[in-house]
Structure 1
Amino acid sequence: MMRVRNDDAVAFEELLRKYQPRLVRLMRTIGPKPDLAEDLAQETFMRVFRARHSYEPGAKFSTWLFTIAANVARNATRSQGRRQEVNEIDAPATADGSRAVGILAATALDASSLMPGRLVEGSERGAIVRQAVESLGERQRTALMLSRFENLSYAEIAETMGLTTKAVKSLLSRARVNLREILQPYIEAGMIPSEVEP
């Protein structure tokens, strides 16, 4: 980022290559609609580029980037709410697990997951976990995604979200409890939870 601050275009391309897939994955979960993820990631990078001259290396670059991304997602969500658009049903995740939460389900499958019955189960499980995560409140969902999929520490999440470390720990704890409650009927009896039914 220091090279980008000095108008090095090659360095900016390197940042794009390194962080864009992670940002798109994050935006699919914390943004207002999964199909806006790439646009929101692009908007995040535009803000990074515009702010390049004022960048100070006080924190990790990824923390600064995810702070901007969280603000972009929050603004997009507010903008969507003001427009009161009719939301279409979101397209399901692709088989390659391109949605971030799909990774959670994919890691639960073992080596025999290529059997047709297991593939159906895995696809169903992935959809249910995705919908359960999406049913969480915005702050819980964001904290969970930054912790689980971006591997940020509590301190980095706190800085990204403008919270205290204690508040982040509390958010993550509540998110885990809420997910456990939502997913318990499916885990115990194979019943699709009412919170995630189509």
Structure 2
Amino acid sequence: MLRVKEDDAGAFEELVRRYEARLVRLMHALGPRHDLAEDLAQETFLRVYRSRKRYEPGAKFSTWLFTIAGNVARNAKRSVSRRREVSEVDAPRTENAASDAQMLASTALEASGLMPTRLVEGDERAEIVRVAVSSLSDRQRMALMLSRFENLSYAEIAETMDLTPKAVKSLLSRARVNLKEILQPYIETGMIPREVHDDER
């Protein structure tokens, strides 16, 4: 990033190459729609480039990057909500998105502390996880992604989300409880969980 700050185009291309897939995965979880994930990742990189002259090495680069990504995702949600363009049907899933859903499925089940009594695969599992993860608040969802996928410490997540490490620990604890509550009926009876809306949390 220090090379990017000095207008090294090759260094910026290298940053994009290293972080693009990770950002797209994050935006699948945080953004307003799956079909916007790649666009939001590109918007994040654009903001990184525009801010390059103000960059100061301090925390890990990824912490700074994910802070920007969180802001981009929140702005996109507000924008989509204002335009009332939120669709009930997501765009067709790409192979990467399907792979990410499988990873997220394992993560959600692991975080919930539940063990499935039968093997769940494919579309059914992806749907269960989509509903379970959508039941989390934006902050719980981001904390979970940064913890499980990016392996950030409580302190790093706290810096990314402008929280205290204690608040991050509490967020992750509530996320695990919420995941367990929504996944329990499926694990025990095979019933697909219903959507949970913000006003029901």
Q: Secondary structure at the match of 1:194?
A: coil
Are the counterparts in 1 of residues 147 and 153 from structure 2 also a CA contact under 8 Å? yes
- State the alpha-carbon separation in 2 of the partners of residues 99 and 66 from structure 1: 21
TM-score (normalizing by structure 1): 0.86
Q: What is the root-mean-square deviation in Å for CA atoms of aligned residues? A: 2.1
- Aligned ranges for residues 10-159 of structure 1 at < 5 Å? 10-91=10-91, 93-94=93-94, 97-98=97-98, 100-105=100-105, 121-123=120-122, 124-159=124-159
- Among all aligned residue pairs of Structure 1 and Structure 2, give the percentage whose two residues are the same amino acid: 71
Cα deviation for residue 11 of structure 1 reads 0.6
Are the counterparts in 2 of residues 93 and 127 from structure 1 also a CA contact under 8 Å? no
- State the alpha-carbon separation in 2 of the partners of residues 137 and 62 from structure 1: 22
Which residue number in structure 2 is paired with residue 175 of structure 1?
Answer: 175
Unpaired segments ≥5 residues, structure 1:
109-116
TM-score (normalizing by structure 2): 0.85
Kindly tell me: are residues 96 and 48 of structure 1, through their superposed partners in 2, closer, same or farther at Cα, counting changes over 3 Å? closer
Are the counterparts in 1 of residues 33 and 86 from structure 2 also a CA contact under 8 Å? no
Unpaired segments ≥5 residues, structure 2:
110-117, 197-201
Aligned length: 186
Q: Give the partner amino acid of 1:12.
A: F
Are the counterparts in 1 of residues 80 and 86 from structure 2 also a CA contact under 8 Å? no
Cα deviation for residue 92 of structure 1 reads 5.8
- State the alpha-carbon separation in 2 of the partners of residues 25 and 2 from structure 1: 25
Cα deviation for residue 105 of structure 1 reads 3.0
Kindly tell me: are residues 22 and 96 of structure 1, through their superposed partners in 2, closer, same or farther at Cα, counting changes over 3 Å? closer
- State the alpha-carbon separation in 2 of the partners of residues 99 and 75 from structure 1: 26
Cα deviation for residue 152 of structure 1 reads 1.0
Which residue number in structure 1 is paired with residue 114 of structure 2?
Answer: none
